[in-house]
Amino acid sequence: MTLSPKAQALLLRPRLPTATEVAGIPWLRVLPLDTRERAVAEVRVIDIARGEQVCRHGREATHWLGVVNGLLKMSSDRPDGVPMTFAGLPSGAWFSEGTVLKREPYRYNVEALRNSVVAGIPTGTFHDLLDHSIEFNRYVMQQLNERLGQFIAAREIDRMTSVEERVARSLCALFHPVLHPGVGQVLRIKQEELAYLVGLSRQRVNEALQVLQAAKLLQLEYGGVRVLDLDGLRTYAAAPSA
């Protein structure tokens, strides 16, 4: 498959990760020391500008990827031309394990919503870890299981008519403790970025956030959102209209 000049440029600018960047990769922590050292030697990172695509539908998957710092969007183009968002990928999120496991081309696009740092290991290294590390196997199995639940939830969100419920569930997905362990209690996200993920206007998202804040489920902070009650967001149901 012939890559575009922009895609080729993306592949030509990897660099070695810093010690801080390595420390932020969650799956490395589960590996025994000798295996971890070999895996770290294979990690490369790239700096991605807002709007750049990390993955493109139909492109060969050469790496298992993760977000060291930033925010990405995983989506697919529908036949009517309207993109369908599958997931937001904040700092700490690793993705594409299913694609790499099956050695398939990407069936989705992944685009940076802000300037981000993305890490990756080659597919060969990924499969070698699967073949020789029980700890890595368990990590990937848990990722796949949680990812299945995430995509089911994404389809449910897409069918919701209540803006408040859509925003509440979308935030829950971003605060997923297993898939996005780097988020913690505060998600650094602009309302414009959240609007892209939810598929609504910034104004509608802002109104929904105000309602959820009044319900004491979250607190809006400068440049981010602090979740006060994750279970409450997960089960939030808007009051029926009169």
Look at residues 190, 159, 152 and name the one whose alpha carbon lies nearest to residue 173: 152
Residue 215, both tokens: 């319900």
Q: With bands split at pLDDT 50, 70 and 90, how would you rate the model's confidence at 54? A: very high
**How far, in Å, CA of 88 to CA of 234, rounded?**
16
**How far, in Å, CA of 107 to CA of 91, rounded?**
22
Q: Which residue has the higher pLDDT, 188 or 34?
A: 34
Q: What average pLDDT does the segment 198-209 reach? A: 91
With 80 as the cut, is the pLDDT of residue 46 above it?
A: yes
With 90 as the cut, is the pLDDT of residue 131 above it?
A: yes
CB atoms within 10 A of CB 16: 11
Per-residue pLDDT tens for 62-84?
999 999 999 999 988 766 666 67
Q: With bands split at pLDDT 50, 70 and 90, how would you rate the model's confidence at 211? A: very high
Residue 225, both tokens: 């959102």
Per-residue pLDDT tens for 85-124?
778 899 999 999 999 999 999 988 999 999 999 999 999 9
**Domains of the chain as residue ranges with CATH:** 5-154 (2.60.120.10), 161-234 (1.10.10.10)
Per-residue pLDDT tens for 146-193?
888 777 776 776 666 788 988 998 888 888 888 888 777 888 888 899
